[in-house]
Amino acid sequence: MKALFVGLLALTSTSVLAGDWQDLGADAWHSYNGTGISAGWKAEGDTLSALGEEGGDLVSNETYRNFELVFEWQISEGGNSGVMFHVLEKPELKYTFLSGPEYQVLDNKGRSEPPLEQAGALFALYAPSADYTKPVGEFNEAKIVVNGGHVEHWLNGHKVVEYDMNSNDFKAKVAATKFGKWPTFASGDEGHIALQDHGNPVTFRHIRVKRLPD
């Protein structure tokens, strides 16, 4: 009886965890506006690596509205990449960045990008509070929280960016940049998560997402 109780308890705990957090392994992604994963990516277990051959962006098979996303990223020397959310997948939209706001992934030390384009930033809109990146070759821990338009970017345990996509400040920043010319940018309150292939080797692993109440 005791063994049966322990077994049921373990099963219940596993079920709760599975219903809470979703692992986004290799089988949870496909090429943007396509099927399967392109040859420009190497997918193995819970690790996805862009090989630097411009294989195109990957998007999650499922869409998400309010969520918490955690992942680890490792960028190549001088590399550039990103993770986008609320991405709309439509044939008329050639690129994920036409709709999805981007959490910037970058080798800060190996490039000379301005603060608005450094790792952890909401690309070109909100700069990170500080540079908390690890040296090239090491994995960085990241988190994105999206809840009713309120968004947080975390990097290696530090909240580096916070903004509200429904605020006048956010709308003014968008209007003042190239994004203001794209009517689809940040227009959806639900969409795919995207891993960007910017032509530089980058690896993402341990990607997990938890849906938050609407």
Q: Per-10-residue mean pLDDT for the chain, 214 residues long?
A: 39 41 97 96 96 95 98 98 98 98 98 97 98 97 98 98 98 98 97 98 98 94
Residue 189 belongs to domain spanning: 23-211
pLDDT at position 213: 94
Q: Would you give the DSSP letter of residue 126? A: B
Residue 52's pLDDT is 95
Task: For residue 126, give both structure tokens.
Answer: 């909100």
What's the CATH number where 143 sits?
2.60.120.560
On whether residue 52 sits in a domain, the answer given is: yes
Q: What is the pLDDT of residue 54?
A: 84
User: What pLDDT is attached to residue 79?
Assistant: 98
Nearest 5°: the CA angle 88, 40, 199 is: 75
Contacts of 16 (CB under 8 A, 6+ apart): none
Inside any domain, residue 158: yes
- Is 145 a domain residue? yes
109 contact partners, CB below 8 Å, separation of at least 6: 133, 135, 136
- Which pLDDT score, from 0 to 100, does residue 17 have? 38
Question: Does residue 14 belong to any structural domain of this protein?
Answer: no
Domain assignment present for residue 10? The answer is no
* CB 123, CB 113: distance < 8 Å: no
pLDDT value at position 114?
98
Record the pTM: 0.91
Residue 15 is predicted with a pLDDT of 32
Residue 126 to residues 4, 55, 66, 99, 161: CA-CA distances in angstroms? 53, 28, 20, 17, 7
Question: Does residue 15 sit within a domain?
Answer: no
Residue 71, in any domain of the structure: yes
How many domains is the chain built from?
A: 1
Place of tokens 């590399």: 79
Instruction: List Cα–Cα distances, 107 to 25, 103, 134, 143, 175, in angstroms.
Output: 24, 13, 9, 18, 28
- Dihedrals φ, ψ of 122, to 5°? -85, 105
